[in-house]
Amino acid sequence: MEFSLTSDQEMIIKTARDFAQKKLKPVAAHCDETGNINKGNLKELGRLGFFSMVVPEEEGGAGMDYVTYAHCMIEFSKACASTAVILSVHNSLCLDIMRHFANDTHKKKYLDDMLTGKKIAAFSLTEPNAGSDATEISLNAKLDGDHYILNGTKCFVTNGDLADIYFVFGTVNKELGSKGTVCFLVEKGTPGFSIGKHEKKMGLKASPTTELIFENAKVPVANLIGEEGRGIKIALSILEGGRIGIAAQAIGIAEAAYEAAKSYSKERVQFKKPLCANQAIAFKLADMLTRIEAAKYLTYRAAWVKDQGKKPTLEASMAKLFASETAQFVTYEAVQIHGGYGYIVEYPVERYFRDARVTTIYEGTSEIQRIVISNNLLKN
């Protein structure tokens, strides 16, 4: 694996850092408090190319590699984890489906607007009774002439009402198990399709998470992605990219928490000396930084394997597991180092602590990552 960066990579990452620090960071606390994302910033991210990061230039994207992608996601997450998850779902889940499974007609019709961020995409697999076990999805799709009629409810959809394009997973016949599953591209405004409840969450409050409701929703047959029976296969095949994105998100949050804790520990004086002059606090900082660095290299490695055109199943799961658990540890200790002030909303570590929590849950819980890793290592 290559450790040094090219000047392309360096400059792109610097642009991400500048944008994150100048535009995302100053409004992140406000976005969290009001539960609204800053749409002007999303638009600008689109102009800069961050809504098409890993799509090759020949296909109209920014043509970035996954290593650069991971670095940029860390920078965005450090400033605003809500913005980062919006980008992660759009880039590493939805655009991956578009590139690998959509046909030319789909691409012609939708891809350009997705690449500029004019149309944001959402990925909807989870249902009330199908979380870790996605094969249990039951959103029903019934063929009727040149349309499928969709009935059911999806939940926990990132980019819920923000999106214009939804990749929705369902089944034509639940008895067939995964062989009956399907994936559709559903446009906002499709008759019978509506946005349900907006979830009130612990963290990532500026990133909308909603239900999607399908009541005899009419989706054209042309909007079937892949064939009938391939739904779950499509969902599973794009997981690695998503996990690299979430690992990077977790690292960014952790890094922000670590930096806040470090500077606080140098300023806050108790017993006539700064907090960091106590070895108990200094050692916490040492552990925090060491784990963050370890998480980074697992994540860059997964990204690098993907850039080599290989499938980083094991690497991405290990990166996601370790980075998200690191984010728990680091944000917990960052609050601890802040004492009572860490529990007060005025101090950003309070938000980092809440934002970090979901990273061990979505895109495969830590338990699911351990299943993937152990299945893999016991395979032969």
Partner 1 sequence: MKICVIVKRVPDTEANIKIRTDKPDRIDESEISFIINPYDEFAVEEALKIADEKDGETTVITVGSKESEAVLRHALAMGIENAVHVTDNEESDPFRTAFLLGKVINDKGFDLILCGKAAIDDDTAGVGSMLAENLGLAQVLVVTKVEIAGDGKKVVCHRDIEGGTMVVEAPLPAVISCQKGLNEPRLPTIIDIKRANKKALETFDSKSYLEGFSGPRVKIGKFTSPPPRPVGKVLKGDSGTAAKELAKLLREEAKVI
- Give the active site residues: 363
* Cβ(253)–Cβ(352) below 8 Å: yes
Which amino acid is residue 49, in one-letter code? G
Query: In the chain, how long is the greatest CA-to-CA distance?
Result: 79
Q: How far is the CB of 176 from ligand FAD (least distance, A)?
A: 21
Report how far residue 252's alpha carbon sits from residue 236's, in angstroms, rounded to the nearest whole number.
25
Give residues in contact with partner 1 (CB under 8 A): 7-8, 11-12, 15, 18-19, 44, 47-50, 53, 57, 62-64, 269
Question: Token pair for residue 367?
Answer: 């338990």
Residues 6+ apart with CB under 8 A from 374: none
List the single partner that 112 binds among partner 1, ligand FAD, none, CB under 5 to 8 Å by kind: none
Nearer to partner 1, 265 or 317 (CB): 265
Helical pair 66-79 and 25-34, crossing angle rounded to 10 deg: 70
DSSP 155-213: EEEETTTT-SEEEEEEES-GGGGGGGEEEEEEETT-TTEEEEEEPP-SS-TTS-EEEEE
Q: How far is the CB of 199 from ligand FAD (least distance, A)?
A: 7
Nearer to partner 1, 60 or 192 (CB): 60
Give residues in contact with ligand FAD (CB under 6 A): 89, 123-126, 131-132, 156-158, 201, 204, 209, 358, 361-363, 365, 367-368
* Cβ(312)–Cβ(240) below 8 Å: yes
Nearer to partner 1, 62 or 87 (CB): 62
List the single partner that 254 binds among ligand FAD, partner 1, none, CB under 5 to 8 Å by kind: none
Report how far residue 217's alpha carbon sits from residue 192's, in angstroms, rounded to the nearest whole number.
4
Nearer to ligand FAD, 68 or 181 (CB): 181
Q: How far is the CB of 88 from partner 1 (least distance, A)?
A: 17
List the single partner that 173 binds among partner 1, ligand FAD, none, CB under 5 to 8 Å by kind: none
List the single partner that 48 binds among partner 1, ligand FAD, none, CB under 5 to 8 Å by kind: partner 1
H-assigned helices in 268-309: 279-307
Q: How far is the CB of 75 from partner 1 (least distance, A)?
A: 13
User: What phi and psi, each to the nearest 5 degrees, are found at residue 238?
Assistant: -105, 5
DSSP structure class, residue 145 = T
Angle at 347 between CA 343 and CA 349, to 5 degrees: 70
List the single partner that 50 binds among ligand FAD, partner 1, none, CB under 5 to 8 Å by kind: partner 1
* Cβ(322)–Cβ(292) below 8 Å: no
List the single partner that 358 binds among partner 1, ligand FAD, none, CB under 5 to 8 Å by kind: ligand FAD
Nearer to partner 1, 200 or 272 (CB): 272
List the single partner that 11 binds among ligand FAD, partner 1, none, CB under 5 to 8 Å by kind: partner 1
Q: How far is the CB of 297 from ligand FAD (least distance, A)?
A: 25
Angle at 48 between CA 45 and CA 54, to 5 degrees: 90
Nearer to ligand FAD, 252 or 264 (CB): 252
Q: How far is the CB of 216 from ligand FAD (least distance, A)?
A: 22
Q: How far is the CB of 373 from ligand FAD (least distance, A)?
A: 13
Nearer to partner 1, 39 or 273 (CB): 273
Closest listed residue to residue 50, CA positions, set 59, 63, 40, 39: 63
